[in-house]
Structure 1
Amino acid sequence: MYKHVALLVRKEGLTHEEFVDHWQTEHAPIAREIDGVRRYQTVLPTDPGNAEFDGIAELYFEDLDALHDALGSEGSRDYDPEKGTAKAAREDVDNFLAVEKRPRFVGEEVVQRDDVDGDTDGLYKHSAFLVRKEGLTHEEFVDHWQTEHTPIAREIDGVVRYATVLPTDPENAEFDGVAELYFEDLDALHDALGSEGSRDYDPEKGTAKAAREDVDNFLAVEERPRFIGRETVQKDDRS
């Protein structure tokens, strides 16, 4: 499926708690009714004090044209829809978001492992927003990521679901891809991938160690935002 990922930064003057209250009680009911949305999930940080963003909003569409119609293309950061619920949602973001500080990503999800049959509600999630290493083309980055790194990452201890998201328009994308690893237990996530406050975490054992060592082969690690949070599925109309 095609997916719009918004990395949310709260509007100046709001506390994180005020931001979350508006997002979950006022905005989410609007966003989940946007035309074409088949699934909508929000991710709240497990450690807001150390998180790089205040939250993540993810909307899925079966059709890329429907996504663009509702939320704009990768190259239209200031897109303002003219109709329906998408218009109401876009107008509401100004009430709680610093829109100019909100990275976004449009891509196609590839599920690499799924031990939970798609039921991610309540799971802990590590999202890595990937930037390729200097000297690599996007195509070279994708080839290494999908053929060399993914087979290692999906076997990390504790991982129950692993998905990669490839940009539909790499030339205009803010990142080269997104890697999403889900865990049932937050301690298992921290053990494998570090906490929100340990950006340079270097695991000492097993597949997590091998995965961390391999990222230096294709990623600009210092330019890679990451986010650890707990996912809530707000809507799921997939067949």
Structure 2
Amino acid sequence: MISRFGLLTRNPKLSPEEFDRHWRISHGPLAAKFPGLRAYYQHLVVNKEQFGIDHARGSWNLDGFSELHFDNIDDMMSAVSSPAFSGALQDEVDFLQDVHLVACEKHVVVPLNLGNGPFVKRMTLLKRLPEVSVEQFRREWLNVHASWVRQWPNVLGYVQNVVVDRYHGKRTISASYEEVPIDGIVEFWFRDKQEAAALYASDIVAQTQKHALVFLDEITPYFVETRQIV
């Protein structure tokens, strides 16, 4: 499966509430018509603090993440080449200032288990160190780092989305790394911020973050509220 994430910056003429309303009511139904679409989520950014993380934050200033699932890259490309896509593309002008896109492989490290209680979700952009190759990044994040995260207590879910392609402007032509300098997106669920604060004060997370220094240049987290459209 391929997850296509849109990194969204709202039109500055719109308030956050107006952006959210347009995205949900107007744009969502248009994108939901894409052929081959398996699932569609909208992740609204509600907080941009660098909570619990000592790493440098990137320059990204996002208002939302779209997430569309396709069986494979070919199906994703067919969708963005379809007549249904043209309507959604035209609609972007009304509420977005810019869109960067990444196609990702999804790797579940801690299966999602929300139970019946409340929860909060954080999504985080990762950028590797300049001297770290793509292969080394994958090895450190998918193998070593994931093994650390599996030891964390009270984690409701942890998913790694590894970037395999990038787009900006043209939706069917790959963009350069310089245009979209992201290597991964984390999805992380926990019960509440108080429990997360205790987690980030623990020794196991301190050791995990120490390992992050080996391969990560920037860590840019966002708290989000998620709704499923499809």
1:1-239 mapped onto 2 (5 Å cutoff): 1-47=1-47, 52-71=61-80, 81=81, 83-99=82-98, 102-116=99-113, 123-169=119-165, 172=176, 174=180, 175-192=182-199, 203-221=200-218, 224-235=219-230
The 1-side partners of 2:31 and 2:84 are apart by 7
As a proportion of its length, which structure holds more strand? 2
8 Å CA contact 2:128–2:137 kept in 1: the answer is: yes
- Structure 1: which amino acid aligns with 2:224? G
Two-structure CA RMSD over aligned residues (Å): 2.5
CA, structure 1 residues 150+48, in 2 after alignment: closer, same or farther (shift >3 Å)? closer
CA, structure 1 residues 131+93, in 2 after alignment: closer, same or farther (shift >3 Å)? same
CA, structure 1 residues 204+232, in 2 after alignment: closer, same or farther (shift >3 Å)? same
8 Å CA contact 2:8–2:64 kept in 1: the answer is: yes
The 2-side partners of 1:70 and 1:189 are apart by 38
- Structure 1: which amino acid aligns with 2:33? E
CA, structure 1 residues 123+15, in 2 after alignment: closer, same or farther (shift >3 Å)? same
- How far the C-alpha of 1:11 sits from its partner, in A, is 0.7
- Give structure 1 stretches of 5+ with no counterpart: 72-80, 193-202
8 Å CA contact 1:52–1:226 kept in 2: the answer is: no
- How far the C-alpha of 1:183 sits from its partner, in A, is 2.0
8 Å CA contact 1:30–1:88 kept in 2: the answer is: yes
- How far the C-alpha of 1:191 sits from its partner, in A, is 4.4
With a CA cutoff of 8 Å and minimum separation of 6, indicate the structure with the bigger relative contact order: 2
8 Å CA contact 1:124–1:189 kept in 2: the answer is: no
Structure 1 length as normaliser, TM-score? 0.77
Identity %: 23
CA, structure 1 residues 227+33, in 2 after alignment: closer, same or farther (shift >3 Å)? same
Secondary structure of 2:156's aligned partner: strand
Secondary structure of 2:229's aligned partner: strand
8 Å CA contact 1:31–1:89 kept in 2: the answer is: yes
- How far the C-alpha of 1:140 sits from its partner, in A, is 0.9
8 Å CA contact 2:48–2:223 kept in 1: the answer is: no
- Give structure 2 stretches of 5+ with no counterpart: 51-59, 167-174
Count residues with an aligned counterpart.
208
The 1-side partners of 2:90 and 2:198 are apart by 41
Match of 1:200 in 2: none
- How far the C-alpha of 1:60 sits from its partner, in A, is 0.5
Structure 2 length as normaliser, TM-score? 0.80
8 Å CA contact 2:190–2:196 kept in 1: the answer is: yes
- Structure 2: which amino acid aligns with 1:52? N
Secondary structure of 2:94's aligned partner: coil
